[in-house]
Chain A
Amino acid sequence: MSSQAFTSVHPNAATSDVNVTIDTFVAKLKRRQVQGSYAIALETLQLLMRFISAARWNHVNDLIEQIRDLGNSLEKAHPTAFSCGNVIRRILAVLRDEVEEDTMSTTVTSTSVAEPLISSMFNLLQKPEQPHQNRKNSSGSSGMKTKTDYRQVAIQGIKDLIDEIKNIDEGIQQIAIDLIHDHEILLTPTPDSKTVLKFLITARERSNRTFTVLVTEGFPNNTKNAHEFAKKLAQHNIETLVVPDSAVFALMSRVGKVIIGTKAVFVNGGTISSNSGVSSVCECAREFRTPVFAVAGLYKLSPLYPFDVEKFVEFGGSQRILPRMDPRKRLDTVNQITDYVPPENIDIYITNVGGFNPSFIYRIAWDNYKQIDVHLDKNKA
């Protein structure tokens, strides 16, 4: 299949309709009109659902290929909207699991003993028993499967994932509340994170803990969010302090814990936060030995590895930093929009499936993704 499979080829009315929605979504992503990884993930899933219901394929690999193409085009539209690619990879993993299961069942019928995965060092050196034959058998037999089955599987997977994403905060809150004590001073440099906001409010109201929250402003891109965040917290009777970004070091000695929201979590345990200045805050925290915990839904885990951090960090225009510049006397400026926090500056990740060390994140990632789908772009894979 060519990469334009879903854009132009099919004359079918339903597919063309889907193509229009895809195009508009791609345009929206390109214009950065969808804000926040939560919204992006949900919209991507809705789109994927429509895409799969309208898609036609001969073999399940065909379907997987089409989904990969879709994911690739979406990722190209907004390379740093990681949640978009993450959910597509999750669905791909669901499909591939299903395929594997089918092949397994066929192999079970063909060979009497189900071969376990290599679990021991001794097996490592053993000669694998007729693997080629099995593979061939399986691929041949899986071709006999009906297609509707996979459509159902994919759509059910999407529905489950939407459910999971919508209920993520509950799971995180239960774990995270146990991490703060009464009268603690917390600092959050990511006031745009809904998860952090909800967590703090439930900690105050449901567990009835009193604590102080310092909110950094994140000037220039995030100050509005920060102020709104602070106001909301104060309205929920949480002692809140708005702090300029420059005062973080001065106050860090009094802070008990730093909470950060995340935009994407990479397999090495590093994270991209949707707010500049977070990495300096975490560095400060490290310097003062203040624990930093990051809250992240499972859908924010990305199977990518940040070899080149600059590729993942976004930069904005200068108008927010030097609004009125004399055109004859120009200055260079930097306006970092997102920020990369290396794993050594984060103590723990709280996800909806539990708390993990940054060094363990890779394992959670491979529970949910398949290695083969890391790069959706064919040229790289």
Chain B
Amino acid sequence: MSESEAKSRSATPPSKAKQATPTTTAAANGEKKLTNKELKELKKQEKAAKRAAMKQANGISIEQQQQQAQMKKEKKQLQREQQQKREQKQKNANKKKQNERNVKKSTLFGHLETTEERRATILALTSAVSSPKTSRITAAGLMVPVVASALSGSNVLTASSLMPVGPNASSTVSASAPASTTTTLPASSAALSAGTSSASTNTPTAIQQEIASSNASDVAKTLASISLEAGEFNVIPGISSVIPTVLEQSFDNSSLISSVKELLLNKDLIHPSILLLTSHLAHYKIVGSIPRCIAMLEVFQIVIKDYQTPKGTTLSRNLTSYLSHQIDLLKKARPLSVTMGNAIRWLKQEISLIDPSTPDKAAKKDLCEKIGQFAKEKIELADQLIIDNASTQIEESTTIVTYGSSKVLTELLLHNAISLKKNIKVIVVDSRPLFEGRKMAETLRNAGVNVMYALITSLDTIFNMDVDYVFLGAHSILSNGFLYSRAGTAMLAMSAKRRNIPVLVCCESLKFSQRVQLDSVTFNELADPNDLVNIDYENPVERRGNKGALLNQFIKERKFEKKKLAMENKPKGNKIGGKKGSEGESKDASNEEDSNSKNILDGWQELPSLNIVNILYDLTPPEYIKKVITEFGALPPSSVPVILREYKGSA
């Protein structure tokens, strides 16, 4: 025992022991003029002293006692720290759990990138890429860039009173302004007024009043809250303020963050036309593998025209990597289609073949011409050949079933019905949620073709109507002969095969892919599950109109925030402005709820065991396909790898 004590004594620094002694003596001296609290403390100390005396009587020295006390203290401290740590851990775990719950991954398709993740990435990028001088609207309010730059870093400034304040409410502004935590910095008022006047009907005088009314403490408050917010989601600096809270949750995936960071590093390289194309693709404004490919090639022509070779490199070496940055962004809109991939591969090869000695201008012009030629050769002329070939299949008065919308097929059917004047009947089968077939049916109908439109649920009836052929378009044909096409194609092909109706696929060789795949679950593209929540007959692009899901999200969050503000303001006794505002808002909210509640699945994200699967493609096994018509002629699906190998040079 004595040994261990001696060890511990030597271990503790002597200064601590010295510190402890004067406190006890001081306490003993100033005993009388003390408050209750101190009295209690004194009593404790007395007891401790008594105990010490007892212990001393037992043969333990004061120093030893003090040391023991110190050890006890340390122990307690340690325990406390541990507890805190544990709590922290638990909190973190809870947070993680919540995140896991929020980021919904369906059971079967957990390995695929969700639309939400893609959207978050694009949003992060566009917000970082688009010039910092444009003002942005966030859920917290309008962000005015000049002020933001003045704040250097913490770049949010709310002007949330812009909406409630009407032109004739200037008298109540002073009352409502502090309530709605409106703050404007006196600095850069010119920029502010410019921003606000464009945003609302507010008069400059009202703003000035606001500025006058908002005192320094308010400013400090908002700044504090801003920095807090920034601290909460500083996953990627510079984008924090722009991402709606829902999208933030998808940023807990570390690989996603790193990919975004990587893209952000090269944000200055990205061409604005690529940004535009990305948003078009992401919102399904351009759909179909051929239209997507054409759009991409057109944009590449612009990009190449605008390209300037940096000093120290040559065009043939640098342009490829420059294009890679653009393609990285395009990939984030939607996974590249096979046609796009093939075109990119071809383009990169062409670039590498350019003689480094050719002047940039000539090389660029040459490239642009080649791209145009490629599009013409691989798509337009190929389509022409396919149409010529497939037309021999279509006899007088046949009934043809197609699925979805395909550019080649539309042209083929129009050619046969109008130019060749064959009396054909076309049945366009369609499905939710994109309703692409409607477009095709309308085009054909407007040209005077005998068209019937049906949904995939009525397949049984359709195939009871003396169908002669099924013609299908393709997204791609894989090397093992599987047809990768819009979801639903496989079912149609299967039904046709079971009824001994020949299935023909029209497909440019540009769509041939080296990939092999066995079923539709392993590799696919997930579309937005929210597109399936509405039960109506419009496709998501029509339904959204110009406001994307993001805008809707923003509106929702804005409403929520306003409600929260109103709730916060109420107890403060805000008389006129606050009350009016909250009443109006509650009415608005109830109306909104009414109009929203018609969708049964509206709150599907909150139900942990409910998921919506919206896959875009499926795989049709080669045994359902009678033949594939390409510009090289008609062949069985098993010959796809042959074509790939034989014509690799040209493809």
Chains A and B are bound partners: yes
Given contacts A253-B519, A280-B495, contact A247 B618 (CB under 8 A): yes
Residue of A nearest to B493 (CB): A249
Determine whether the beta carbon of A332 is less than 8 Å from that of B451: yes
Interface positions, chain A 182-237, Cβ under 8 Å from B, are 212, 214, 217-220, 223-224, 227-228, 230-231, 233-235, 237
Determine whether the beta carbon of A334 is less than 8 Å from that of B615: no
CB of B555, distance to nearest CB on chain A (Å): 23
B503 at interface by CB-CB < 8 Å: no
Given contacts A242-B611, A283-B495, A329-B446, contact A218 B457 (CB under 8 A): yes
Count of chain A residues with a beta carbon within 8 Å of a chain B beta carbon:
57
Cβ-defined partner of B452 (8 Å) among A277, A287, A334: A334
Cβ-defined partner of B487 (8 Å) among A239, A247, A280, A335: A247
| Cα distance A228–B610 in the bound complex, in angstroms | 11
Determine whether the beta carbon of A280 is less than 8 Å from that of B610: no
CB of B610, distance to nearest CB on chain A (Å): 4
> Which chain A residues border B452 with CB–CB below 8 Å?
331-334
CB of B519, distance to nearest CB on chain A (Å): 5
Residue of A nearest to B108 (CB): A254
Which of A47-55, A164-172, A318-326, A357-365 lines the interface with chain B?
A318-326
| Cα distance A380–B93 in the bound complex, in angstroms | 73
> Which chain B residues border A335 with CB–CB below 8 Å?
455, 458
> Which chain B residues border A220 with CB–CB below 8 Å?
455, 457, 537
Residue of B nearest to A320 (CB): B537
Determine whether the beta carbon of A244 is less than 8 Å from that of B108: no
> Which chain A residues border B461 with CB–CB below 8 Å?
313, 315, 334, 336
Determine whether the beta carbon of A231 is less than 8 Å from that of B535: no
| Cα distance A320–B488 in the bound complex, in angstroms | 20
B477 at interface by CB-CB < 8 Å: no
Cβ-defined partner of A340 (8 Å) among B460, B608, B614: B460
B431 at interface by CB-CB < 8 Å: yes
B612 at interface by CB-CB < 8 Å: yes
CB of B492, distance to nearest CB on chain A (Å): 9
| Cα distance A235–B459 in the bound complex, in angstroms | 32
| Cα distance A220–B453 in the bound complex, in angstroms | 13
Determine whether the beta carbon of B521 is less than 8 Å from that of A251: yes
B12 at interface by CB-CB < 8 Å: no
CB of B550, distance to nearest CB on chain A (Å): 23
Determine whether the beta carbon of B491 is less than 8 Å from that of A332: no
Given contacts A253-B521, A331-B441, A336-B460, contact A227 B601 (CB under 8 A): yes
> Which chain B residues border A310 with CB–CB below 8 Å?
464
Determine whether the beta carbon of A230 is less than 8 Å from that of B108: no
B286 at interface by CB-CB < 8 Å: no
Interface positions, chain A 2-55, Cβ under 8 Å from B, are none
Given contacts A250-B521, A254-B108, A280-B456, contact A243 B600 (CB under 8 A): no
Given contacts A248-B491, A249-B491, contact A240 B611 (CB under 8 A): yes
Closest 7 CB pairs of A and B: A246-B488, A277-B457, A250-B520, A234-B610, A250-B618, A246-B431, A227-B600
A-B CB contact pairs (8 Å), 13 listed? A228-B600, A233-B609, A237-B609, A242-B610, A242-B611, A243-B613, A244-B487, A245-B455, A245-B457, A250-B618, A277-B456, A322-B537, A331-B452
**In the complex, given contacts A238-B609, A322-B537, A332-B453, what are 11 additional A-B residue pairs having Cβ atoms less than 8 angstroms apart?**
A219-B535, A220-B457, A224-B535, A239-B107, A240-B609, A242-B612, A244-B431, A245-B457, A250-B617, A254-B108, A333-B454
B residues contacting A by CB (< 8 A) are 106-108, 431-433, 438, 441-442, 445-446, 451-462, 464, 486-488, 490-491, 494-495, 498, 519-521, 524, 532, 535, 537, 599-601, 604, 607-615, 617-619
